[in-house]
Amino acid sequence: MVKENCGVVGIYSEGDVNVIPMVIDALRALQHRGQEAWGLAIPNKAPLKRLGLVSASSGEFKKISEEYASHSAIGHVRYSTVGKSDLESAQPLKVKDLCVAHNGTISNVEELSNLVGGCTFTPQNASDTLVAAQRLVSLITENGKLGNALSILKNEMVGSFCFTFLSDDDAVFAARDPKGFRPMVLGHKEQGNVHIVTSESSAISAIGAKLVRDVVPGELIKISKEGGFETEMFSDDTNRAHCSFEFTYFAQPSSKMEGTNIYLARKRIGQFLAKKYPIHDADVVIPVPDSARPAALGFAQELGIQFDEGLLKDRYSKKGPLRSFIEPHQSDRIEINRWIIPIREVIEDKHIIVIDDSLVRGTSSKAIIKALRRSGARKISMMVTYPPIKFPCYAGIDFPSQEELATFDGGKDLSEKEMIEKVRNDIGADFLGYNDAENLANAVGIPKDSMCFTCATGNYAPLGITPNFNKMKQMKSV
Ligand code: SF4
């Protein structure tokens, strides 16, 4: 099964402006959500797909803008979480007259594929998006309207989704799953009367548009020539499960999600973490670059300790600018860590508090602590802004199995204290402090019950599943 957590965009100009340059700019502003492939689609044409970063195709932008000129389009940046990074798996996908771009994960893909009649693909090798798109198209055929089809599909699917769709009869659609696991926002630009629906407001700013609002979980938006801007609800579920990991790690700091700016939220998370761990004998607080920087600043300011940059990423190396967690292969993650450069003059003989935004497999943390020791750190206290990750995510961020998580200890039932001690020992820190869900939610300013913390708690109720984690095989086939 191929799963994704990606970035999506749908743009429609009621003023008949060519939106392709805007789609490209928006995808560049979503690049942090997926770096393996990108693509765009316009009505009545096969989707355009490219491997790698959007900017790697900059020589083609003019030609693409001319050849694909359209006042309606959707786009996608992709991060695959299992294996294949090929062009075929890139999105948007086209099924009959509907192009689809998806951010999220559909975990019961085989079950769903059984509902798809007459499909021509092999379900085990098909992406979750393709299976969902096939099912959606057959539901539209049976029920007439996309909203009706989504109302049915949401009950059949386990997982999370933000979709943008484009139909050959020139309508752009966007839908957000009823729990709001993944983010989705709506923007507008006066010039050309341009509507944009996308994963993050960073993409709205990138095209010079204004953020209007979050797309409501369970909302379907349609923009077309005949109807203009239309909206309907395909779910009346009012329970929310916004992914807490977006706030600490995944989202772009300039973005605004659920009314909260990500940079300021991360700074507050650092402040709240400092209240939990008031370590006053440290000399300096440093971030693990790049996403932990605001939290480190907040932590340092709260305790009145000096903030500094003790670790830099080599931005000219091949892997340096990429984000280690979302690279699919372990060797690539190790490669990235080799390009984190410690600054001896900041570190030597000091008690360092190093702030990271998450501790997933522990590979990065171990490499960073080694680098700090090599640079003469006297004591290293590691603080993690996210609670201990103990369970796989089936709602869009891929932690493939418990066995690969740093918190896993051969299936032993460790107490919280024992588990933290195990991880501390593995990564080689002198002290390890994790955030907790309550503290994180308070810092973000969203009620804890309206956020998803499943990967920390193992409570899969928001997804409506009860996975059995006795064996790795079972974990991967929920
Ligand atoms: S399980 Fe964790 S990573 Fe997945 S949606 Fe929930 S909070 Fe986000």
Ligand 1 nearest-atom number relative to CA 453: 7
CATH 3.60.20.10 in the chain, residue ranges: 7-238
Tell whether residue 357 is among the known ligand binding residues. Answer: yes
Tell me how far the alpha carbon of residue 16 is from its chain's centroid.
Answer: 32
If you ran DSSP here, which 8-state letter would residue 249 be given?
A: I
Q: What is the identity of the amino acid at 109?
A: V
Q: Is residue 453 in contact with ligand 1, taking CB distance under 6 Å? A: yes
- For residue 112, what pLDDT is reported? 80
Provide the CATH number for the domain formed by 7-238 in this structure. Answer: 3.60.20.10
Residue 452 assigned to a binding site: yes
For residue 46, which amino acid is it?
Answer: A
Closest CA to 241 of 181, 309, 294, 170: 181
356 is in an annotated binding site: yes
Sheet holding 72-78, edge to edge: 48-51, 37-41, 72-78, 7-13, 194-198, 185-189, 210-214
How many A from CA of 452 to the centre of ligand 1?
6
Q: Give yes or no for a contact between 7 and 203, defined as CB atoms under 8 angstroms apart.
A: yes
Which residue minimizes the CA distance to atom 2 of ligand 1? 455
- Residue 26 C-alpha to ligand 1 middle, in angstroms? 24
Is position 291 annotated in a ligand binding site?
yes
* Residue from 244, 246, 390, 449 to probe ligand 1 pocket by mutation (most atoms less than 8 Å from CB): 244
Span from the CA of 250 to the centroid of ligand 1 (angstroms): 11
In 193-331, beta strands by DSSP E: 194-198, 210-214, 219-224, 228-233, 242-243, 256-257, 260-261, 284-287, 306-307, 311-313
pLDDT at position 338 is 61
CA of 17 to the centre of ligand 1 (A): 38
- CB distance 393 to ligand 1 below 6 Å: yes
Residue whose CB lies within 8 A of the most ligand 1 atoms, among 181, 199, 390, 435, for a mutation test = 181
What is the location of CATH 3.40.50.2020 in the chain? 263-449
Show which residues are catalytic.
Answer: 6
Yes or no: domain 263-449 corresponds to CATH 3.40.630.90:
no
pLDDT along the chain (478 residues), means of 10: 70 97 98 94 97 95 98 92 68 93 84 67 59 87 85 84 94 94 97 98 98 96 94 92 94 96 98 97 95 96 97 68 54 58 96 95 91 96 96 77 85 89 97 98 97 92 69 43
